Amino acid sequence: MMDLNGLLLFTILLPLVGALGMALFGRYPNIREGITLTTAIILLLQVINIYDYLMAGRAPEAGPFEVLPGLAIHFAVEPLGMLFALIASTLWIINSIYSIGYMRGNDESRQTQFYICFAVSLFGVMGIAFAANLFTLFLFYEVLTLATYPLVAHKANEEAKKGARLYLMLLLCTSMGLLLPAIVWTNALAGTMDFTPGGILEGNASPLVMTVLMVLFMFGIGKAALMPIHFWLPAAMVAPTPVSALLHAVAVVKAGVFTVVKVIVYIFGIDVLAANGAGDWLLYAAGFTVLVASLVAVRQDNLKKRLAYSTVSQLSYVILAAAILTPISAIGAALHIAAHAVSKITLFFAAGSIYTAAHKTEISQLNGIGWKMPITMTAFAVGAISMIGLPPTAGFLGKWFMLSSAVSADKWLAVWVIVLSTLLNTAYFLPIIYRAFLLKPDVTGDHGEAPLPILIAISATATGTVLLFLFPGVAFDLAERMVGR
Amino acid sequence: MIEAFLTNYNYFITIFLMSAGLYIVVARGNMVKKLVGVALFQSSVYLLYLSPAKILGGTPPILAEGFDVYANPLPHVLILTAIVVGVATLALGLALVVRINEAYGTIEEDEIFAEGEDLQNDAKTPRVEGEL
Amino acid sequence: MRLDVILRVITKLLLPFMVMFAFYVHFHGEFSPGGGFQAGVIIAAAVVFHALMFGLYPTQRMLPPWVVEMLVPLGVFIYVVVGIVTMMLGENFLGYNPLHPTKPYYGQERGIIWIEVGVLVTVASTMVAIFYAFAGRGRKP
Amino acid sequence: MSTAALDASFNLIQQLPALQVVLPMLGSVITAMVRKGAIAWFVALAVSWSMPFVAVVLLHEVLVHGTISYAMGGWEPPLGIEYRVDAANAYVLVIVSLIGAVVMPYAKRVVDADIAQENQAWFYTMYLLCLCGLLGIVITGDAFNAFVFLEISSLATYAMIAMGRDRRALVAAYQYLIMGTVGATLYVIGVGILYVMTGTLNFADLVDRLQTVENQRPVLAALSFITVGLSLKVALFPLHKWLPNAYAYAPSMATVFLASTATKVAIYLLVRFYYSIYGPNIELSGYSAGLVLVVLSLLAMFISSFVACFQQNVERMLAYSSVAQIGYITLGISFGSKLGLTGGLVHLVNHAFMKGALFMCTGAIMLRLGSVKLDDLAGIGRRMPITMAAFTLAGLSLIGVPGTVGFVSKWYLARAAFDAGQGWLVFAIMASSLLAVVYIGRIIEVAYLREPNNITDEFAKDPPLSMMIPTGILVIACFYFGINAELTAVTAERAADAFFAYFGAAGQ
């Protein structure tokens, strides 16, 4: 029996060990992919293990390992991080299965590098999820940024290089230029960087300083894609589909909004912010992003681009929810992180599936494709419905909590934003489903469904989207614990 | 004013040598002349150290009957070292100039840089491809 | 080179005296003006003088460049060894007192003489080496 | 003269300060006499490997027992030359000697490739003299002695650079010689003025006597001479023009060694004057020297990084980056606070690690390809995987990614900026590290994402183990001290204390 601290450390380091194994066996694709899957499964089991301990009230903790006096790497398990880790490790398995199908199906080069970087990204995600202070979080945040750069640049053509440059520069610029100063400043003000329920800044900073800090944090967390720093998401669309899934569903943007929620809840403190109004502007910024991104999404013809802008708007839902600053809205934010993860990964898998089987990327080419690829397009429909926020899918839960908290907190702006954007969501998702199933097929292309691994993955996530609605227990539990109820 | 000048004339000579040497270093493109300037510049330091060490009426710093006032020996020792350093620098500099003359066929700086070997900057014709 | 008998004869006569004067300067170095620096330069001057009069190659036959290049580090070597010996004897680096078993006064004298020998060798050979390097440049050896 | 010395026998610990300088000098003499490259290398290796032991023992002694004073030749200070070791210079001694020890095994192959057989022994002689000079500057407690060592190391450096691959090295060496000599002379003028005003050259004695000097104006003039002179050696912007050429055209081994040590030592001396000698007498900020330093550091950080972005020659790019990194160090110094000084000193060692590793990688590329032009590096990431992996990791460190030494430095600097009430500087620090992303990113992109050309295909492969292991050691150091900075940071803090504590120590 491993002791608790060892368990946590082992879990975080596991993907890194896996990456090492993949590097060693890079010559043998089967062994390499076997290692990927094994690592992913063990990781999930470990995370579930940790979840059990958390529920039993014995949250594991590792560290602090002091880098410098006052600067320590420290891991601890708390509910929100637990949720994030659960989502990421579950989706990694599915994504791995999908990747194997996709990479082999499209005969991509540099597959070993792909799998290694993927595993390192998961290492980053685990670190972010279990970080107990801002420094640790930042450390793994940057690990994630750097590990995903080779993935985005995977195709190594001019377009991919350009997209990857933009991706890297924007994320690093924001994180180093804004987030890091904010962290240092926080540390200078509060003397600590630990995530503490209720926040650490109360009494240490004036409302004005807090507002400035808030701006630094929110725009510094570039991964949360708050406008106007959302450009990296569409730019990163040059990457292969599994990578897009990683960016949009499993890891990157989730890490962004996760960090946002974490900072608002554990650094500023919901009550503190609600009292002094330092976070009021965030409501407007997030609302603006939700609406504008949705409007842009409507105008995109490229399927992945449309999904990308949809992600931008959905992310701001989470920020919006957090900015409402009530415990219930925070629960909504947490639930939406989970819901968006499963739904968006379904949508991306579907897009990739279409690309693999039919080599189509534009929405205008999809007429009648639903009858040729029924499984794919059904899954797509499920994902789309979830994004719009209709039952019986996971998206409904998050939106419900957000709406009810907005109403009860008298934040009518938020209410209007949510209602309007739901309409817009419908406007950009329904036409796709309509085309796929109800329009006459084009003459071009004689293709069937995508390879089997892809279909397995896609069905799993679509089912997950529905299941999360029917059995939200785990996610709900964790979200409630986060706000301390 | 004049008195100040006269009592401290050694310093003014030092300053003059110093500026003259530095000027030659900056203004001349001929590598040998530059070295001459450096040598002049260094000489000014010798004067700076030695002139205050001499005490009017003092003897060389050797113990002898009947003399109580000595020149300060330390600066002389220091400057002996500095002169050696200067000689070494000059020798090395001249050796470099000889080698440069053999390699380039000239010892004028502007001609050497005009050879287009991108000494100053490899990116004289900036190729921006691959910039991030 | 022109055969200039008078100069050559006088040179041959002068050279021993130059070297002797160098040693005079050297061995007076520890208590009166003089020492290895000056002596070294005088010796080097003697060599250069010889080269000016009889040509570079005869001089280099007399004092081959490889010997000169060996002498340069040798002088420093003597200097360092004296320092290390004093360290071995329990003093600080270049603390000459223990060089004489009973009288520190003589110890100082011995130490300085040996140090100056090192300086002399290095200075003389460096000067000659610089002269060789510049004078021999661009000719076939 | 010391009287108790006669009866004492040879005491190794007591003699260490002298050995630190004497051993390299002895080594250089031996290498000059043996004339055989291989034997000379072995001698240089033996000396270089013994140096860290001496330095570490000294550091330990200092941290445990306090300042060590060693009277050269038994002449007691302030009359004689004093070697005075406190935590500050012991720290720098350890850095310099460690880098020397790591570089030597690496040197064998690159020196074989860069330098003709008959000149190799001379090259090692120059290296050892340079090492001797650098260690001497650090260990001495005498202003003029520091000048002499400065010139020893500089002359050796000029000679090393001139042995570079092609004729451009000669011009680079010449330019450095002119600039370096002017700098050293300016320094010695400053020291001369100080001597005229106070009648002493001993650092500790200077501190005391400066307070009794009534006319402060010449003293300030001396400070400005010393500042400008040393800034030339430090390559503080805008006095850095000699550095890029010197680093780019010198033999690889010299580049690695100089980039990690030479400028650091000059910085040490500058800090010694600012904090230890003038510190108690003149408020740094009162005469706006601090402000000037801030401005120059910022200019260095931005302009040099920016210039680095447009370089085609990778070694020049890294050289410009060095100028920028020196800006970080001087920025830390300019705060005038203990935290800032600690940050500067931490960056001193950190930068030595990462630049050493980076230049080792470019040296390896030079060895295999004979060029470090950016375009010739296409696809090299697949052909020299370990070298480029090391380059990437060290590059990340240069950028200052958390978990690397670069981040630790930046953290200190940022904290110091906040403590000094100049929070805006934090943004400047971070912004300039983003420029590092650009230039390092360019190289990495070319190396990994472009297809190799046929030259690369044929010749590029990882260098021999003797070169990879030193590189690996430095890269590991970049990360180890990024995750566990206890050792470097705490020592740097003690060193910073020592700089401040010089005042009043003179009487002891």
Phi, psi of D85 (to 5 degrees): -110, 115
B98: nearest CB among C31, C37, C137: C137
For residues B60 and D242, which has the higher predicted lDDT (pLDDT)? D242
Q: What is the spatial distance between Cα D25 and Cα D46, in angstroms, rounded to a whole number? A: 13
Does C56 touch chain D if contact means CB atoms closer than 8 Å? Answer: no
Express the helix, strand and coil content of chain A in percent, nearest 5 each.
75, 5, 20
The three-state secondary structure class of A162 is helix
Cβ D193 vs Cβ D225: under 8 Å: yes
Q: Lowest-pLDDT range, A449-463, C121-135, D52-66?
A: A449-463
Cβ A343 vs Cβ A387: under 8 Å: yes
In chain D, residues with a C-beta closer than 8 Å to the C-beta of B41 are 181-182, 185
- Confidence at residue A59, expressed as pLDDT on a 0 to 100 scale: 78
* Residue among A88, B53, A143 at smallest CA distance from D404: A143
Q: Do C133 and B95 touch (CB under 8 A)?
A: yes
Q: Lowest-pLDDT range, A342-356, D41-55, D126-140, D292-306?
A: A342-356
Q: What is the spatial distance between Cα A169 and Cα A166, in angstroms, rounded to a whole number? A: 5
Question: Has residue A186 got a pLDDT over 80?
Answer: yes
B91: nearest CB among C130, C137, C138: C130
Does D32 touch chain C if contact means CB atoms closer than 8 Å? Answer: yes
**Residue A68, by phi and psi: left (phi above 0), alpha (psi -120 to 50) or beta?**
beta
In chain A, residues with a C-beta closer than 8 Å to the C-beta of D401 are 142, 146
Q: Which of D33, D39, D135 to mutate to test the interface with C (most CBs of C within 10 A)?
A: D33
Region D395-405 average pLDDT = 89
For residues D357 and A364, which has the higher predicted lDDT (pLDDT)? D357
> Locate tokens 């090395």: which residue?
B92
Residues 436-495 of D with CB under 8 A from A: 437-438, 441, 445, 448-450, 482-486, 489-490
Evaluated on CA atoms B76, B81, B83, B84, the torsion sign reads positive
pLDDT digits 0-9 by tens, A46-96 = 888 888 888 887 778 877 788 777 788 888 888 888 888 888 888 888 888
Q: Do C134 and B84 touch (CB under 8 A)?
A: no
Q: What is the spatial distance between Cα D231 and Cα D190, in angstroms, rounded to a whole number? A: 13
Q: What is the spatial distance between Cα D58 and Cα D66, in angstroms, rounded to a whole number? A: 10
Evaluated on CA atoms D132, D137, D140, D143, the torsion sign reads positive
Q: Within 13 Å of residue C96, how many CA atoms lie on the same side as its CB?
A: 16
Phi, psi of A31 (to 5 degrees): -60, -45
In chain B, residues with a C-beta closer than 8 Å to the C-beta of C38 are none
Q: What is the spatial distance between Cα B70 and Cα D316, in angstroms, rounded to a whole number? A: 54
In chain B, residues with a C-beta closer than 8 Å to the C-beta of D438 are 131-132
Region D270-274 average pLDDT = 88
Mean per-residue pLDDT over chain C, rounded:
85
Q: What is the ipTM of this complex?
A: 0.86
Q: Do B119 and D171 touch (CB under 8 A)?
A: yes
Question: Has residue D115 got a pLDDT over 80?
Answer: yes
Q: Within 13 Å of residue A143, how many CA atoms lie on the same side as its CB?
A: 26
Three-state DSSP string of A128-142: HHHECEHHHHHHHHH
Region D414-440 average pLDDT = 87
Confidence of residue A302 (pLDDT cuts 50, 70, 90): confident
pLDDT digits 0-9 by tens, D330-364 = 998 888 788 888 999 999 999 999 999 999 999 99
Q: Which of D301, D401, D494 to mutate to test the interface with A (most CBs of A within 10 A)?
A: D401
- Confidence at residue D267, expressed as pLDDT on a 0 to 100 scale: 92
pLDDT digits 0-9 by tens, D10-69 = 677 788 888 889 999 999 999 998 888 889 999 999 999 999 999 999 998 888 888 888
In chain A, residues with a C-beta closer than 8 Å to the C-beta of D399 are 172
Cβ D198 vs Cβ D210: under 8 Å: yes
DSSP letter (8 states) at residue D202: B
Q: What is the spatial distance between Cα D174 and Cα D115, in angstroms, rounded to a whole number? A: 19
In chain B, residues with a C-beta closer than 8 Å to the C-beta of C130 are 91
pLDDT digits 0-9 by tens, A8-29 = 888 888 888 888 888 888 778 7
**Which whole-number Å values give the CA distances from D409 to A128, A138, D405, in the listed order?**
23, 16, 6
C95: nearest CB among D30, D74, D125: D74
pLDDT digits 0-9 by tens, C26-40 = 887 766 777 888 899
Q: What is the spatial distance between Cα B70 and Cα B61, in angstroms, rounded to a whole number? A: 5
CA angle A421, A425, A426 (to 5 degrees): 120
Q: Where do the H-state alpha helices sit in C1-141?
A: 5-27, 36-54, 56-62, 65-88, 104-135
* D448 → chain A, closest CA residue: A156
- Confidence at residue D2, expressed as pLDDT on a 0 to 100 scale: 44
Region A300-323 average pLDDT = 85
Burial of D7 (0-12, 13-18, 19+ CB in 10 A): exposed
Question: Has residue D469 got a pLDDT over 50?
Answer: yes
Cβ A77 vs Cβ A50: under 8 Å: yes
Does A185 touch chain D if contact means CB atoms closer than 8 Å? Answer: yes
- Confidence at residue A479, expressed as pLDDT on a 0 to 100 scale: 77
Region B42-69 average pLDDT = 78
Q: Do B75 and D195 touch (CB under 8 A)?
A: yes
Question: Has residue B125 got a pLDDT over 70?
Answer: no
Question: Has residue D400 got a pLDDT over 70?
Answer: yes
* Residue among A483, A479, A482 at smallest CA distance from A468: A479
Question: To the nearest whole percent, how much of chain D has pLDDT over 70?
Answer: 95
Q: Lowest-pLDDT range, B71-85, C43-57, D48-62?
A: B71-85
Q: Do chains C and A touch (3 or more CB pairs under 8 A)?
A: no
Q: What is the spatial distance between Cα A255 and Cα A247, in angstroms, rounded to a whole number? A: 9
Q: Which two tokens stand for residue A139?
A: 């450390």
In chain D, residues with a C-beta closer than 8 Å to the C-beta of B34 are 178
Does C130 touch chain B if contact means CB atoms closer than 8 Å? Answer: yes
In chain A, residues with a C-beta closer than 8 Å to the C-beta of D440 are none
Pairing of strands D68-71, D82-85: antiparallel
Q: Lowest-pLDDT range, A81-95, A123-137, D69-83, D133-147?
A: D69-83
> Locate tokens 């104006």: which residue?
D217
> Locate tokens 């006319």: which residue?
D215
In chain C, residues with a C-beta closer than 8 Å to the C-beta of B89 are none
* Residue among B87, B17, B73, B82 at smallest CA distance from D185: B82
Question: How far does D34 lie from chain C, in Å, by closest CA?
Answer: 9
Q: What is the spatial distance between Cα D340 and Cα A18, in angstroms, rounded to a whole number? A: 41
Question: How far does C118 lie from chain D, in Å, by closest CA?
Answer: 12
Tell me which chains share at least 3 CB pairs under 8 Å with chain B. Answer: C, D
Question: How far does D25 lie from chain C, in Å, by closest CA?
Answer: 8
Question: Has residue D4 got a pLDDT over 60?
Answer: no
Question: Has residue D326 got a pLDDT over 70?
Answer: yes
Confidence of residue D225 (pLDDT cuts 50, 70, 90): very high
Question: Has residue B132 got a pLDDT over 60?
Answer: no
Cβ D115 vs Cβ D77: under 8 Å: no
* Residue among D328, D308, D393, D435 at smallest CA distance from A172: D435
D178: nearest CB among B25, B44, B85: B25
Q: What is the spatial distance between Cα A42 and Cα A96, in angstroms, rounded to a whole number? A: 13
DSSP string, A431-472: HHHHHHHHSPPPSS----PPPHHHHHHHHHHHHHHHHHHH--
Phi, psi of A55 (to 5 degrees): -65, -30
In chain A, residues with a C-beta closer than 8 Å to the C-beta of D485 are 67-68, 71
Cβ D84 vs Cβ D67: under 8 Å: yes
Does A110 touch chain D if contact means CB atoms closer than 8 Å? Answer: no
**Residue A65, by phi and psi: left (phi above 0), alpha (psi -120 to 50) or beta?**
beta
Q: What is the spatial distance between Cα D92 and Cα D349, in angstroms, rounded to a whole number? A: 8
DSSP letter (8 states) at residue D450: S
Count of Cβ atoms closer than 10 Å to residue D394 Cβ: 29
Mean per-residue pLDDT over chain D, rounded:
86
Region A406-431 average pLDDT = 85
